[in-house]
Structure 1
Amino acid sequence: MGRIIFHIDCNSFFASCEEAYNPSLKGKPVVVAGDPKERRGIVLAANYLAKQLGIYTTMPLWEAKKKCPSLIVRKPNFSLYRAISQQVFERLQRVSPLLERASIDEGYLDVTEMASVHPLILAEHIQRDLLETVQIPVSIGIAPNKFLAKMASEMKKPLGITVLRKRDVPNVLWPLTVETMHGVGEKTAKKLNAMGIATIGDLAKANEIALQQTLGIYGSRLKEWANGIDHRSVNPEEGEKRKSIGNSITLPYDVTEQRVLLDILRQLAESVGRRMKQKRVVSATVQLTIRYHDFQTITRSKTWDNPFQEAEEIFRYAAYLLKKHWNGEPIRLLGITALDVFDRKEAVKQLDLFHYEEEAKTEALWKTVEKLRKKFGGTAIQKGAALVEKKGEQQN
């Protein structure tokens, strides 16, 4: 007997959350976007009624409103989306303990041991339960492995239930373009296309050595997936192990100088930011830990509107918490933790097109700075203020 894996995918999740929070929005075209007064705002999410009118993610808001003058615009409410996501996964946990959270709006469920219930009946029960209790529509893919279950859940939306068996792969998946395949992003698709691989069927039959030369070990995995093979298990710990990323340091002596404490916070922020990038996660909450000379320890946290990952943002938020909550007593330990981290692709920001361009430039700059620091040392590039302070100390 093979495995029975469900992939549960919440439909138009952010827009569905807005409808669940405000039922009067149901049956109306709704988008989640930036400030509706801002001409350059863009659509971050759209419900299916809005999609039917030709509105899509990243469309300029002015263009969306031109297509649909009655369009209802909601600003991103990240805390609401996280809370509803938690409710969804709590209900899925009741179905099977073998639940792996893949992102804020999707997860895998291994129901192999529930042989007494037909998979289709179980899927219908899950779908109906989530719609009635949390007011969130979901599509469910049923397959013998995670890859096929993921592909199946994409085939019918909203409120779809699709079964995809391994024997269906040649007829169902192989004619599709590689761009539609789970695990193939834009850059990977271009590399595959350059190799003459246009469809999933082409990938399934491609030369494995050539794939490895172009994509490394990932090329072999993609070929397996294209042939309907995926040995990964549903691992509940996979989605839980990255809930927080932090770093702390016990100081060699008790410190009372704010300037020194801020320098230490900057080092900690750079360490936390680097690890977040390695794991490709972001967070919206910074926690600061302070241990005083008498070993009294306090933790203070704050959640910001926009998810962050850059060391400079982490430092700025931690510095804010230090200045607000430090009582002036000598400190012997400092720590920074990014709480409730999640996949970067889930991040929702209230950005207009101009800010997207600016952020892209900033990200490129920080990548260059990080490369230089890694090659020449942490002090290779410093802020002007730090250099002025250092020069002043030398003169004294």
Structure 2
Amino acid sequence: MKNFYPKNGRVILHVDMNSFYASVEMAYDPTLKGKPLAIAGNPEERRGIVVTCSYEARGFGVKTTMPVWEAKRLCPELIVMRPNFERYRSASKGMFDILRQYSELVEPVSIDEGYVDITDSFELGSPVEIAGQIQSQILSQLDLPCSIGVAPNKFLAKTASDMKKPMGITVLRKRDLPAKIWPLPVIDMHGIGEKTALKLNGMGIETCRDLAFANDIQLKSRLGINGLRLKEKANGIDRRIVDPDSIYDYKSVGNSTTLPKDTTNQHDLLAVILQLSEKVASRLHQKDVLGMTIQVMIKDKFRKSITRSRKLENPVGKKEDIYAVAKDLFMKHWNGEPVRLLGVTAQDVVEKSEATEQLDLFSYKKEAEKEPLYKVVSELQDKYGKDSIARGIKGSKGARNDTKTDTSFNKDFLRD
């Protein structure tokens, strides 16, 4: 089987679950199979937005981010269900458990997709055979469909998995670029959004082939280093490794909420900020991190947003500390207009074990009183190891294989 694997390169799979939330609900309740199904927020509130939908619903023109009322207009038979995130996390964990049976190098990207480096898994079969085994196992054990891209790097694997849905397996090599990728408009290339596409179009770069042969100096002047990276990807170059630990690479932890109705009631708005601060504190604790900066976002009835942040001398993680800063920021920068959405974010997060508190005149005495306890803890750790005892601040991160929230979904989706 080694003949199917490159001598010096890598073989990467990108596993992408198809209509994940809807598929999980269908697996849980088979009577939903074959019917137009949408997963959405509360239809009675403005957050009634389609999160995902079945392929049957897509046949009627229903799309992600579409308001529920519009989706129902297009498909009167549409079944609308609220998301059940615990159910989805459980299915996600089951999916990633299966992937780890084929390689230790599994990198979750979101709740429903991930990369697998199978370069050293040749004993299990050819790359296409392994992709087929994974697809079959996820379907048979979890009753969930997925598409898989097979390629020499992450970019090409991601691109390949999007080429055939649902239940597709697509191989994409660098030599396939001229025929399969270069003719496409740049907006269709993974990693390019509308704004970037408009900038590229303004430079005369319309297709992926144009990007592959674009002028480096021109690209960098308009798009910075990202322009050069996009050109590399258009040429099938992607040096990123499959990193199982990247799930723990995050710089911020935040929560936001759209209010049921626009409001100017200060008491109600501060209550929402308190709730958001509590959620952020809980997630910081789960991740075992603290925030060095607190940010507040305020969106008014005209959907105009302002964000304000404050860098702190000492990292914070408690609800009370986060709320105190968030409240102060809100009171200073709210203009009194009706508020539609509020958000609180802890930024510049650091591991608790690495956080160093800059002691001021007021905290010094309190910390000094704990010094005898710290000394005992330090002695025990020196004798029995660093992880033998902690100072009561350890979160619930647990084993890395079992550990994710909001997928904008950032990567806390695997938490227990």
Same fold at TM > 0.5 = yes
Q: How many residues align?
A: 290
Letter in 1 for 2:145: P
1:77 and 2:84 matched? yes
Of structures 1 and 2, the one with the larger relative CO (CA 8 A, separation 6+) is 1
SS of the aligned residue for 1:176 comes to coil
Q: 1:336 to 1:16 in 2, by over 3 A?
A: closer
Whole-Å separation in 2 of the counterparts to 1:93 and 1:226: 30
Partner of 1:14: 21
Q: 1:320 to 1:182 in 2, by over 3 A?
A: closer
Cα offset, 1:134, TM superposition: 1.3
SS of the aligned residue for 1:94 comes to coil
C-alpha contact 2:147 2:162 (8 A) present in aligned 1: yes
**Alignment equivalent of 2:275, drawn from 312, 316, 327:** 316
Q: Percent identity?
A: 50
C-alpha contact 1:6 1:142 (8 A) present in aligned 2: yes
**Alignment equivalent of 1:187, drawn from 183, 195, 203:** 195
Q: 1:13 to 1:360 in 2, by over 3 A?
A: farther
Whole-Å separation in 2 of the counterparts to 1:217 and 1:156: 31
Partner of 1:51: 58
Letter in 2 for 1:339: Q
Q: Give matches, 1:35-50, under 5 Å.
A: 35-37=42-44, 41-50=48-57
Letter in 2 for 1:184: I
Q: 1:335 to 1:65 in 2, by over 3 A?
A: closer
- TM-score normalised by structure 2 residue count: 0.63
Give CA deviations for 1:77-98 in whole Å, capped at 9, x if unaligned: 2222222111111111111001
Whole-Å separation in 2 of the counterparts to 1:77 and 1:167: 43
Partner of 1:143: 151
Q: Give matches, 1:230-249, under 5 Å.
A: 230-242=238-250
Partner of 1:3: 10
Cα offset, 1:59, TM superposition: 2.2
C-alpha contact 2:184 2:208 (8 A) present in aligned 1: yes
SS of the aligned residue for 1:73 comes to strand
Give CA deviations for 1:96-139 in whole Å, capped at 9, x if unaligned: 00111111111110111122311111111100110111121110
- TM-score normalised by structure 1 residue count: 0.66
Give CA deviations for 1:40-75 in whole Å, capped at 9, x if unaligned: 833221111111121111223222222222211101
Whole-Å separation in 2 of the counterparts to 1:312 and 1:211: 47
C-alpha contact 1:318 1:336 (8 A) present in aligned 2: no
Whole-Å separation in 2 of the counterparts to 1:77 and 1:340: 22
SS of the aligned residue for 2:197 comes to helix
C-alpha contact 1:40 1:62 (8 A) present in aligned 2: no
Whole-Å separation in 2 of the counterparts to 1:25 and 1:359: 38
What is the RMSD of the two structures over their aligned residues, measured on CA atoms?
Answer: 3.3
**Alignment equivalent of 1:221, drawn from 225, 229, 245:** 229
Cα offset, 1:335, TM superposition: 9.3
1:29 and 2:23 matched? no
Whole-Å separation in 2 of the counterparts to 1:39 and 1:317: 19
SS of the aligned residue for 1:8 comes to strand
SS of the aligned residue for 1:337 comes to helix
Q: 1:379 to 1:229 in 2, by over 3 A?
A: closer
Whole-Å separation in 2 of the counterparts to 1:104 and 1:97: 18
SS of the aligned residue for 1:238 comes to helix
Whole-Å separation in 1 of the counterparts to 2:299 and 2:331: 27
C-alpha contact 2:273 2:326 (8 A) present in aligned 1: no
Whole-Å separation in 1 of the counterparts to 2:44 and 2:191: 37
Partner of 2:182: 174
Q: 1:15 to 1:225 in 2, by over 3 A?
A: same
Give CA deviations for 1:339-379 in whole Å, capped at 9, x if unaligned: 369xxxxxxxxxxxxx9975943xx22x2x33xx56xxx89
1:106 and 2:107 matched? no
Q: 1:69 to 1:147 in 2, by over 3 A?
A: same
Whole-Å separation in 1 of the counterparts to 2:140 and 2:93: 16
Q: 1:195 to 1:36 in 2, by over 3 A?
A: same
**Alignment equivalent of 1:208, drawn from 216, 230, 242:** 216
Partner of 1:246: none
Whole-Å separation in 2 of the counterparts to 1:312 and 1:196: 51
Q: Which structure 1 residue ranges, 5 or more long, are not aligned?
A: 243-274, 285-310, 322-333, 342-354, 386-396
**Alignment equivalent of 2:284, drawn from 316, 334, 337:** 337
Deviates more, 1:202-211 or 1:231-240: 231-240
Deviates more, 1:61-70 or 1:224-233: 61-70
C-alpha contact 1:3 1:110 (8 A) present in aligned 2: yes
Whole-Å separation in 1 of the counterparts to 2:66 and 2:19: 15
Q: 1:313 to 1:84 in 2, by over 3 A?
A: farther
Partner of 1:294: none
Whole-Å separation in 2 of the counterparts to 1:163 and 1:18: 30
Whole-Å separation in 2 of the counterparts to 1:10 and 1:283: 25
Q: 1:142 to 1:95 in 2, by over 3 A?
A: same
Q: 1:207 to 1:384 in 2, by over 3 A?
A: closer
Q: 1:173 to 1:313 in 2, by over 3 A?
A: farther
